[in-house]
Amino acid sequence: MSSPFTTPGALSWHELTSNNCQESMQFYGEIFGWTFKTMQMPQGPYYIIENQGTHIGGIAPNPCPKLPSHWTGYITVSDVDEVAIKAKTMGGELLYGPEDIPSIGRFCWIKDPEGAIIAAITYHNPEDWL
C-alpha cells in the first residue's frame, strides 16, 4: 500500500488551527481517542495528533485569533513551488508560503477561485519522522 506522504495528490495531513489548543486536544482526545505529542517549532508549540500510534495531523495556535478555529487538509505534491505558481495562474490565491518546515518538508496554503482553502506539501523523508 502506498503512503499518502509519498503519493502526489493524496490527502496526507489534517491540521487544526485553534484559538485554544488545550481545549481542542481535550475535545478531540475524548471524542476520538487521539493522543498528542508536543513539537517545539520556531513560532511556538505544535501538537502532533496520533491515532493508534500513527501521526495523522496537528494542532497549531491560530496566528489570527479574530478568525475562528478551522481545519485545513494537506495534499502531497512533488513540487510545492510549482503548485503555488500554477494555482496563481489558474485564478487561485497564495495565502502562505511556500515555506520550509524544518525536518518535515515545504508547504503553502492556497485559496481556490471559489474561496476554499487547502494546503500543498512536499515531505522530506517522511519515514524518518512517522
Tens digit of pLDDT for each residue in 18-38?
999 999 999 999 999 999 999
Annotated domain spans of the chain: 11-128
Q: Is the peptide bond before 61 cis (omega within 30 degrees of 0)?
A: no
pLDDT value of position 65: 79
Tens digit of pLDDT for each residue in 108-129?
999 999 999 999 999 998 766 5
pLDDT value of position 129: 59
Contacts with 90 (C-beta within 8 Å, 6 or more apart), sequence order: 113
**Closest by alpha carbon to 107, among 86, 90, 92, 124?**
124
CATH 3.30.1490.20 at 11-128, yes or no: no
- In the chain, the largest separation of any two C-alpha atoms, in whole Å, equals 43
Tens digit of pLDDT for each residue in 72-121?
999 999 999 999 999 999 999 999 999 998 888 999 999 999 999 999 99
